[in-house]
Amino acid sequence: MKLKKDAVKMLLAVNLLALAIVLDVITSAIPGLNLSMPFGGKFFGISMLPLVMIGLFAGLKYGLISGFLYALYNFGIDYLVYIDALRATLESWTGESWTFGMIVMLVLFDYIIPFTAYGLSGLFKDGFTKLSKMIIAIITVSVVRLVSSTLSGVILWSSSIKYASEEYQNGTGSDNIAVRIFAGVGENLWVYSLTYNFIYIFTTTLVVILLSVLSFKRLKDLSIQFLYQ
């Protein structure tokens, strides 16, 4: 019986991970849904929902593994092919050498930690029994992502926003929301990074919570059908 339940959980995890990737590809191609912040961060990252569902359905182990695999997928899409071009561009912008250690921190803070954190929803056992528990799980994993992304903004991307701000002030760069935030917080890197990342993480979290509320009854029925019979 235990083996059968584990097989069901694994199958659910694989299918929900595939759904998360498909949703990411589709929303990235649809105008309006593909809106993002100028230096990265999607406003409507609805692929978060199936990733959180993996932890709630299948538990912490499958949630973390799936989140980690999704992080590798995202990194591969963003940088794997263009990592040398990325390094050269950043170094030309900032005048700083992007070492191997910095690339490792980029992978950890921008990908591995924030996306694997979605699997922490598995800490909320039987998360489909109460809507409030599911919402708390979504908020919790979003906070972990916010902390990781904020640290990345300060440690790795501070030179980039300083460069963009200086270029704008000199009349050679473009105005965007990132530059406005940086100027609005008095060029405080910590407040800037927290505010910048909060904006897109908040919109994503809000959309995912709304989708969860609308689909909760169906998700609860599915959890009973697949896992508790």
Structure tokens at 100: 């191997």
**Contact indicator for 120, 194 with CB cutoff of 8 Å:** no
Q: Which amino acid is at 104?
A: V
Q: What is the DSSP string of 17-36?
A: HHHHHHHHHHHHHSTTTT-B
**Contact indicator for 195, 146 with CB cutoff of 8 Å:** no
Backbone torsion region of residue 199, taken as left when φ is above 0, otherwise alpha when ψ lies between -120 and 50, otherwise beta: alpha
Q: Which residues contact 34 (CB under 8 A, 6 or more apart)?
A: 27, 28, 42
Per-residue pLDDT of the chain (229 residues; tens, 9 = 90+): 565 778 888 888 999 999 999 999 999 899 988 999 988 889 999 999 999 999 988 889 999 999 999 999 998 877 665 566 666 766 766 667 777 788 889 889 999 999 999 999 999 876 777 888 899 999 999 999 999 999 999 998 888 888 888 888 888 778 889 999 999 999 999 999 999 999 999 999 999 999 999 988 887 777 766 655 4
Q: Is the pTM of this model over 0.85?
A: yes
* Domains of the chain as residue ranges with CATH: 2-227 (1.10.1760.20)
Residue 202: its pLDDT value, please?
97
